[in-house]
């Protein structure tokens, strides 16, 4: 398959864009009145559930590959991997690196049903994307879970993140047809093998979409999802993740 060029600026300018959710001021007031403590250091926190100092020290992503979000030295636009074998998506952004305080918050959200942690990260991500004037094509499409994994976990973390980030969000566009084992300890090649034919379209896809997930490790799952959408006719695909593994 011919890989598309990185035409993100022109494409997003011509299509409806995602609307990043504004700060929930009622929730902020409720936090100040009922708790007022930072989740990370337990110090006073008047607005977010994280104090200004801890917020500043989060591993915010800055210089990164435009295609896959891998952290790079300042001045480089693309990593070596994307130059030699670009993924099926056009552009991606990771708000943080998957280290320090961000990693345990994501794990608490995903594995221990700590929705407050997921909502906090998503709200901070939406605020950062809005502050950067980051434009992504609508609609958002969350990474689907297999029905067996969904029953075990009780929720799809990517779908919740997409909802908390903003919208519009399109659901039930793609189905995960196979239950794959945890990919956490696998290398890129093995992940690719596990994900062959794992996604199937449930409806004709839009011409442009933005995929959402919690963490990008090798990018294999997002690449497989993007390939499925391209085979259905999607022309432009971007990706947003809370964090990028280094």
pLDDT tens per residue, range 16-50: 999 999 877 767 666 666 788 999 999 999 778 89
Q: Which helix (H) or strand (E) holds 243?
A: strand 236-244
Cβ burial of 2 (10 Å; 0-12, 13-18, 19+) is: exposed
Is residue 194's pLDDT more than 80?
no
What does the pLDDT look like over 143-152, one tens digit per residue?
Answer: 999 999 999 9
Min mean pLDDT across 39-43, 72-76, 109-113, 190-194 is at: 190-194
Upstream peptide bond of 168 is cis (omega within 30 degrees of 0):
yes
- Determine the pLDDT at residue 42: 92
Cβ contacts of residue 73 below 8 Å, gap of 6+? Answer: 63
Q: Is the pLDDT of residue 8 over 60?
A: no
Instruction: Encode burial over 159-186: b for 16+ CB neighbours within 10 A, e otherwise.
Output: bbbbbbbbeebbeebbebeeeeeebeeb
Each residue of 96-123: b (16+ CB within 10 Å) or e? bbbeebbbebbebbbeeebeebbbbbbb
Cα–Cα distance measured from residue 142 to residue 150, given in angstroms and rounded to the nearest whole number: 13
Task: For residue range 81-100, list pLDDT tens digits in order.
Answer: 999 999 999 999 999 999 98
**pLDDT tens digits, residue range 150-167?**
999 999 999 999 999 999
For residues 13 and 51, which has the higher predicted lDDT (pLDDT)? 51
Q: Which two tokens stand for residue 157?
A: 């973390």
157, burial (CB in 10 Å: exposed 0-12, middle 13-18, buried 19+): buried
Phi/psi at 148 (nearest 5 deg)?
A: -65, -45
- Quick one: which H or E segment has residue 9? helix 8-14
Show the tokens assigned to 161.
């993140």
Ordered DSSP codes for 142-180:
EPPPPHHHHHHHSS-HHHHHHHHHEE-B--SSEEE-S-P
Higher per-residue pLDDT: 8 or 223: 223
CA neighbours within 13 Å on the CB side: how many for 125?
A: 29
């Amino acid at each position: 398959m011919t890989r598309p060029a990185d035409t993100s600026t022109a494409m997003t300018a011509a299509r409806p864009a995602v609307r990043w959710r504004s700060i929930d001021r009622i929730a902020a007031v409720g936090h100040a009145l009922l708790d007022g403590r930072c989740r990370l250091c337990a110090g006073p926190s008047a607005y977010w559930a994280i104090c200004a100092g801890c917020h500043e020290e989060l591993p915010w992503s800055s210089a990164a590959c435009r295609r896959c979000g891998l952290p790079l030295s300042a001045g480089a636009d693309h990593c070596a991997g994307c130059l030699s074998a670009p993924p099926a998506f056009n552009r991606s952004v990771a708000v943080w690196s998957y280290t320090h305080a961000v990693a345990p918050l994501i794990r608490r959200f995903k594995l221990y049903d700590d929705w407050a942690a997921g909502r906090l990260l998503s709200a901070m991500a939406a605020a950062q994307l809005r502050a950067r004037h980051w434009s992504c094509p609508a609609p958002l499409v969350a990474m689907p879970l297999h029905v067996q994994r969904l029953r075990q976990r009780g929720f799809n973390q990517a779908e919740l993140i997409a909802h908390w980030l903003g919208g519009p969000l399109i659901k039930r566009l793609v189905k995960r047809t196979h239950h794959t084992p945890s990919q956490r300890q696998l290398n890129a090649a093995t992940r690719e093998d596990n994900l062959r034919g794992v996604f199937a379209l449930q409806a004709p896809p839009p011409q442009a979409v933005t995929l959402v997930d919690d963490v990008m490790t090798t990018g294999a799952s997002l690449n497989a999802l993007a390939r499925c959408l391209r085979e259905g006719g999607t022309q432009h695909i971007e990706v947003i993740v809370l964090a990028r593994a280094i």
